[in-house]
Each structure stands twice: as C-alpha cells, then as structure tokens.
Amino acid sequence: MRDVLLPGTIIHQGAYCIDYALGRGGFGITYQAVHTKLEKRVAIKEYYPQEHALRDTSTGNLIVPTAKQDIYQRGLSRFVTEGKILAKINHPNVVRVENYFEERGTAYLVMELIDGYTLREELNKQPNKKLTHSRIEFIISALVDALATVHAQGIYHLDLKPDNVLLTSDNRLVLVDFGASRQGLSTGTTSQAFTLDYAPPEVLAGKDYGAESDIFELGMMLHEMIIGELPPRAIDRIFNDNWNPDLHPFTEPWKNLIISALQIQKHMRPSNVKQWWRHSPTIQQTTSQINCYACNASNPATHKFCQSCGTSLQVVTINSTQKQPENPQLQQSDVHPDDWAKTQKRGFFKFLGSLLDDN
C-alpha cells in the first residue's frame, strides 16, 4: 500500500505512534496505532481522498492541488463534523470515536480498536455462504439498533456491507467505517465512497440519500445472508428491473422485509429502520398477544383459553347490540361445546361480569 504513514510515525504532538496501515478506502486510510502515554492500541482514520490529494513522501503531509481545494475542504469539514457527532454516540454496536484532531493538512479520528473478524469472513466460512435464521436475526437486530441511534443524529452510513461489520469473540457486533457517511443536511452532488454491489440509486447519484438508503443496503445484506448471494445490483435494475423475489424460497416475514427494503424508488421504501424491522420474526412473535377479557392477563393469540383464569378467549355473542372484541384470529365457530361447558365453570361468570361493568 503506497502513500501511507510509515510505521513509527509520531502524530498529534507525540500522543500516537503508527504501527501499520489496516486498510484503505476511497476517502481515507485506517491505521493501527499506540497511545504512547496510555500504552493502549487504537485505530486511527486519516482523511485522505485519493481523487483530491496526494502525500508528500518527505514530510508525510497531504498536498491538495489548487483546483481541488474547494471540494477537499468541504469534505474535510464534513469529516471533522461527523467525527464530533460520532464521538458523542455511546452505543455498543457503533465503533467508539475517542478523539479527533487536525494536522499534516488533514484530519484524524481516533477510535477503539476492535479485536474481531468481519461478517464477510463469517459468511465465507459457511456452507453456501448462508447463515441460520437465528444468526441473521441477531446480526440485523444489532445493526438496526446501531443505525437508529446514528440516524437520530442525522447521519447515514451509506456503505453497509459485511466487510464493515465486525464481530468479536464475546459475540459483540460493531458497525465500523463511517467513511462514506453523510449528514442529512448535505445537498448537491458530491464525490462519494460506496460499494457498487450494495448501493441504492440515490447513493450512486450522490444526492437525496437518507435512512431509506441504509435500509436498502440492509435489505441487500439480508438477501445475501439468507440465499447466499446478492440480488441484482441497483445500477442494473434501474435500466431493466426484472428482479423477481418469488424465484427464491423466502418465507414470511423475510420476504416482506426484503421486498420493502429493495424498492428501487427511495420514496417506496420505509423511512424508519425500527419500523421496517417491526416485521421481523422475533418481534412479530412477541407482539402477537391478546389480553384476557376477564382478568386482563396476556396470552399468546393462538390460545383458546386464558392461561391465568381459564376464561375463553373466543368471541362470544351476548346480544345483537353487544360490541364484539376485534380479533380476526379468533372465530366463534372454533369453540367446541365441551370446551365451552368447562369454561362456564372456570371463568364465564367472571367474564360476563366484566362485560356488564363495561356497559
């Protein structure tokens, strides 16, 4: 890797010593470094847009051509502003920003160093590169929580992919590399880092992005983890949208989650990541409850009798004017006469009393 700071380079007035470069993206280089006083290893992200700057190998400073100064400075300002916002976010699933500073003609973000492996590595180890549904739920749930927190601050990641998700030995998931992130107030078309295979149309265009953009990329990841391969890219679907999710054996609610997230038109997608994930299997199971009319105890909606007092949870007609409880899953015809007789002994009078009290 060329143009990186060399091992042993001292930055921020001697506070950090560079170990080596961990990786490079379109907008920067990430290093492993050591906090010299605390003797603590950290990750440091250097703002270095390859299109607009180059390294002076003698000093290590970045040099920006005059013609590129304006766009470089705008990007640098965003990098620092977003670093300050991320530094205020304390969430277990978002990489922690510990410090930021400017020198050498650019800016640096100091972050916690995550000792783990990428979701991409986990996928590559699986048969057919697929994960179990329970594992997928864990991963997407953690990402949804992380993104909801970040979105609340007006920041969107815009480069969600398995390579930017780290997993640790104690089963912690951490979303990293906000190098492509943008604030909601950004306007106009700007040069942007993204991954073509996952990016929605608005990210490809570099404008009008938002929470819907991250939801699209989550949908791409969800499809990949379930099927073992990505759906067609957005750039291909723009000109010939012949993607048919029915060709894959998706079960509900996965199918609905994927279809709603992968709408080509941004306004057709959910705009709130938490609302989108409300259709997940676990949340659907926990919300499919019904309260007993007699004792108000919570019961699974599939139960016919209250597990607390024994009262029937079925719809009962008292007279033609009695308002029926609204529960389409419960039908009067489901009540067997023998079951109803038992219910009379266990709780019907209590149930009837509650109805009379309501009138």
Please state the residue numbers annotated as binding site for ATP.
45
Q: How far apart are CA 216 and CA 222, in angstroms?
A: 10
Query: Which residues have CB under 8 Å from 189's CB, separation 6+?
Result: 205, 206, 207
Q: Which residues pair with 107 in a beta bridge?
A: 102
Q: How far apart are CA 37 and CA 18, in angstroms?
A: 14
User: Would you list which residues are annotated within the binding site?
Assistant: 45
Count of residues making up the chain: 359
Answer yes or no: are the C-beta atoms of 350 and 294 closer than 8 Å: yes
Q: How far apart are CA 325 and CA 306, in angstroms?
A: 15
Q: How far apart are CA 108 and CA 342, in angstroms?
A: 72
The first and second tokens of residue 122, run together, are: 């986990």
The first and second tokens of residue 44, run together, are: 């440091």
